[in-house]
A and B are shown apart, each in its own frame.
Chain A
Amino acid sequence: MNGSRLKVGVYYLFAFWLLAEWLIPLKTVSDTQNANVFIVFVGLCFLFMFLRIRASIVALINVSYIAYTLNALFFDVSFFSFRWLPLLVEDVINHVAIVRQARWFEVTNVFRSLLFFVLLWMMTYVVRYWLFVRKRLFVFYVATVAYVAILDTFTAFRGNGAIVRLVTLGFLLLHWLVDERIGGAKQWKRWLAASIGMISVCLVVGYVGPKLPPQWPDPVPFIKSYAKGSEQGTGKETVDGTVKKVGYGTNDSRLGGPFVADDTVVFTVEDEQRHYWRVETKSVYTGKGWETADNDVTDIFEQENHIYYWFEDGVEKETFTAIIRPTQPMYYLAYPLGLKAVHALEVNEFLLQMANEKIYPVDRQLNTLPLFEHEIVYEHPIFSVEQLNDAPAVQNDTLLAQYTQLPATLPSRVRQLAEKITNGKQTQYEKVKAVEQYFRLNGFDYETTDVAVPGDNDDYVDQFLFETKKGYCDNFSTSMVVLLRSVGIPARWVKGYTAGQLTGKTADGKNIYTITNKNAHSWVEVYFSGVGWVPFEPTQGFANPYRFTQPQLPQEQQVVQPSQSLRSRIPVNDLLRGEQTTSSSWKDKDHAIWNAFTWKKAIWLIFVGVGVVFLLYKIRRKWWPYVTLFMFRWKNGDDAFVRAYVALLKHLQDYGLKRKQGETLRQYAAYVDRYFGTTDMSKLTYMYEKAIYKQQANVEWEKMKELWENLIKKTVP
């Protein structure tokens, strides 16, 4: 076996290794139990390639191997009885229809494994092509590293070993391939030694060196929660599968991190009144997020809600009817405060979970049902500030115990802050308003991307109130609840949707609102004796849609922020219907915008911009000729030709065909033509000479365009 044969063998070994790195994690991350059979298969393929066995024999052996493995794994009958064969054939035939109709869930493991074998078989050929024909493996290598890194980050698979192996192997392989491409350096042994030395040094330094903790907020929990939201497709949790809340799902036990706005429409509504849409409430704050109270009590109502009364009798109410049209069937109810009745075609019973006030449409066996278009009757409350101010302190002990719960780990400075804010306020309502106002005036910013995740020793609320002061509704609402609870006011955290965007009017004058995923929201409800749960809105840029009447001083109603966020664009007219906008809030908004453009961000932007420009400049030879082609595609006339020719000269120079200072165009054209083996450049040049040395006006640019285009295309490396 000579040297080159040995080299080829090592290549195949490395190729096998690279592909195996894709298969090894399968055991951990998927339900593939027998990844080894696939690894062996890949090994076999490469071995046959190395031994240069005839394709027909290889095919026979491989097919036998696949058949044997499939039989051993799935059919469990004697291989040589061949009774598995009709089963396999039948399975394959069945799958023709399944694949054609894209019923992917029905694909059996047998067929999946078969396809996987075929895929691997093809991959071995592709890898061989990259290695021996293209002699380029960088893209595949990067993909492998990315694959391992992603699996390491998001799954139980630990890629420590794999990364080390990949760095060693990959760089060696890349080095060798480069060496091959440039035709083999004479001193390849020295080069190899240098390369191995470098890789070893990197590995040792990387292994021994200290490792910094992550320097930026970990994006993983957010992406994970996003993935979870979309994963929940089966079982009882279907209930929230369709909510797919961006930035937070049903699981609010760990809040924080950035979120991405999502425009998917959840439902549209015909309604006369703006209000929030509740989905559920949560009452147990853990220091990191929210948990539902440990309470299994449920109740069922048929259409008319006779089991849950939202307000005491003294509250002024107006009754409205809304028609809700979900884009996807909903497995829970999004309902307004004061829900009286739900009318749906297919569903009669509704199950109310007391612990979180979540309502599911169910059948008689209590299985959740999909909810399509339905009608909701509700009593919209109008709160009297007078009445709220007069409300006596809450006496109900069970209610107080549940809704003033706080974790023992809550830092004391939160309580001190709560006391400071409410100091001097007489009534519960005044205290609540003081806390609500606190977020408007003390340098808090609405922010969706640069939002911190509390570390192990941090409290979510504490971090927001004292350190970051940047966040979205979850930060604001949770903090308000915790502050209120710190001074003994019963409060809870409500999740759902804002009123959405006004998108039209019906014939009979009702408003049509569209509620999308980005309208997902959380806010605060506070219990007032003699009134009930009253919603409050601490989040910057959001307006409380509920009315609070103040007969004496109607102008000085609560301060309302105009909508500045992406999440609820309330038309100004609509907004003014219930509340007033003050000028100070506009100032706050300007302030927020100003804050958003800090010098740090500006420098980053410039940095990124310069980077992009530099990159574009670096790869200009790949794209600039096409821009030129496009620019002159429809340009005609003498002038266009001259400019096109000059552009061609530039591209040729860029390509590396330099024209010397004293070289005439003909000499240069001859040089270019010699290089490309054409006569196009000379022909073009003869015409160009006429244009510039003779000032001849009508050159036959139309006829020459094709030559010109060919040459321009040749300058793309």
Chain B
Amino acid sequence: MSSTKPRDDRRAAWWFLLPVLVGFAVFYGYPAARGLWYSVTDYTMLNTPSYVGAENYSKLVQDDKFWNALLVTGWYVVLNIGSQTLLALGIATLMHRLTRSVVLRATLLLPWLVPNVTIGLLWMWLLDTNLGFFNQLLHTVGWGPVGFFTDETWAMPTVAGINTWAYTGYTALLLYAGMLQIPQYLYEGASIDGAGEWRMFRRITLPLLRPVLALALVVSLIGSFQIFDTIAVTTKGGPVSATQVIYYFIYLQAFKYFHMGYAAAAAVFLALILGVLTAIQMRLLRASRSDLA
């Protein structure tokens, strides 16, 4: 296809690809097919799976717990993505207009580097009903105590807030990296024309950041739908099932009740949602390159 003489690296190529192809076949391809198969069987990890048709799926759409899980996940995604994106956009803009400090950026990245389990524990302690710092603080002004994790109304906003705290810095840095690609002369020109910061944000930053913003949003959405660790540590799906998100629902079905087939069917649902989001992400990845380069 090109001007150099045609080469065939067939033999070398398969050696280059061997580890990845084995990894792909054994831990992606095969389990994906097996997962689909489980979803139409009555597998419990102790029996030999036998085919039950669409039974798991029809049970699933009649299962209140499943609908609750979808609803609760949706509520979490709205709370988390909403607050995280707005805050990150604000922080990125502040940084972009104020400083290029690497130390500052590294500090903002810190919560992202820490395991979710640690973050869950940390906030469980900070928000503890009896001895936690925040309830002690509320106490000194005569309020509370608030059962951040034990109150049905508060539990989900609390979990969403914790993850917003953990991932806002990371998202802000992604947006900030996007802002650095915007040519500086646009701001200088606008400034000479007497435009204020707010005007510059609305007329320059926001429109030119759109591809990066869309990408960051989809990446956060994909992560948000898969929330598990924080809930597994702090609320375990409770109180009642106020924080029983879809991932936790699948986990319980599979590893607590051993309804492997049923759990696999629920995982197919989640995979469909995430598959659509990932397809959008891949499109945006391509789009953002052509837009800014």
Partners in one complex: no
